[in-house]
Amino acid sequence: MNEQYEELDLIEEIVRNDGSKYFEISNIDQNGIAELAADRGKIKSVRILQLNIPRTKALITYEKYINENYKLETLTNEDDWKNPDWVEWKKPKGKVLDAYNMVLKSNQIG
């Protein structure tokens, strides 16, 4: 679905407007979109927990799923940064959720 494949290389903590939290595997461009979403009240806050995470099989599995299933907004597209959407990426049971959990566990997050 994404026009340009994006590598994921960091883990961030997202705080929803209701105060609940979740972790996301992301990159600096997506983190910038999250910061804008927080500034505009679409989420409460975002903070980077881990940079330069290892490119494991689990990370590549999750990254491929995200790139194939979501339109990733970018700071180089004016429409994206002027009015960023906030989409919480789903993690379907099976290999995607297992890969996501493995990345968090191997980076001692969660």
What is the predicted pLDDT for the residue at 1? 54
Which residues, including other chains, have CB under 8 Å from residue 98's CB and lie 6 or more apart?
Answer: 58
Low-confidence ranges of the chain (pLDDT < 70): 1-3, 80-81
Q: Which two tokens stand for residue 109?
A: 């997050």
What is the pTM assigned to this prediction? Answer: 0.91
What is the predicted pLDDT for the residue at 81? 65
The three state secondary structure string of the chain is CCCCCCCCCEEEEEECCCCCEEEEEECHHHHHHHHHHHHCCCCCEEEEEEECCCCCHHHHHHHHHHHHHCCCCCCCCHHHHHCCCCCCCCCCCCHHHHHHHHHHHHCCCC
